[in-house]
Chain A
Amino acid sequence: SAVISQKPSRDICQRGTSLTIQCQVDSQVTMMFWYRQQPGQSLTLIATANQGSEATYESGFVIDKFPISRPNLTFSTLTVSNMSPEDSSIYLCSVGSTGAGYTFGSGTRLTVV
């Protein structure tokens, strides 16, 4: 299965600023997924990122707040924009397929103060 390198692993940010999270995969993948895990809760899908097209966002998530880039088949970034304390969460990227299962990055623990 694919190996994902996600960074930063954690950050503490001031409200009103933005943070960009990067995920690098060791093999080419068609789709990459971005999730949010709020404190003590399960994972919620933010968006699906395909190379060469705009990301597809889930209900409740918008591109202005969570812009995503997918410049090639091994890399993607998620930006959390104009942050507020409510954005404090773990953000994870994921790749995979049904047969192989889905692999997750180690997560970015974001605290907004």
Chain B
Amino acid sequence: AQSVTQLDSQVPVFEEAPVELRCNYSSSVSVYLFWYVQYPNQGLQLLLKYLSGSTLVKGINGFEAEFNKSQTSFHLRKPSVHISDTAEYFCAALPNFGNEKLTFGTGTRLTIIP
């Protein structure tokens, strides 16, 4: 089984400042990793995913994430945030065989301060 930990439940950031949202995973097998965003009163939208290959993954809205196998991390970054980035961000893991069940972290609420 796998688990996903998002240590920061809330992250306030000034507009145009950089941000990093942390995600660590634990698994006995290799996993695929995802970041989702949930805007207020909406469903989840896929930001980016890591399946294999380059450890730096670029997603939508200027976000990127880096897979670090040795540190079992998949942190999400954006160099300059905007008010519209205010949302809940979820990291998720999926074992790379069979059982297609996503395991989600507890989420990080990103608040952009004007």
Contact = CB atoms under 8 A, between A and B. Distances in A.
Given A42-B90, A42-B107, A43-B90, A102 B43 contact: no
B101 A45 contact: yes
A41 B106 contact: yes
Interface string B30-41: 001010100001
A101 B44 contact: no
B51 interface: yes
Contacts, number: 48
Interface residues of A, number: 23
A48 interface: yes
Contacts of B71: none
Nearest to A9: B41
Contacts of B44: 43, 92, 94, 104
B29 to A, nearest CB: 13
A6 interface: yes
B46 A102 contact: yes
A99 B43 contact: no
B25 interface: no
Q: How large is the interface on B (under 10, 10 to 19, 20 to 34, 35 or more residues)?
A: 20 to 34
A53 interface: no
A42 B105 contact: yes
A107 B43 contact: yes
B94 A103 contact: no
A27 B106 CA distance: 30
A106 interface: yes
Nearest to B42: A106
A112 interface: no
B87 interface: no
Given A6-B43, A98-B96, A42 B51 contact: no
A44 B94 CA distance: 14
B68 to A, nearest CB: 20
B3 to A, nearest CB: 11
Given A42-B107, A101-B34, A101-B49, A107 B101 contact: no
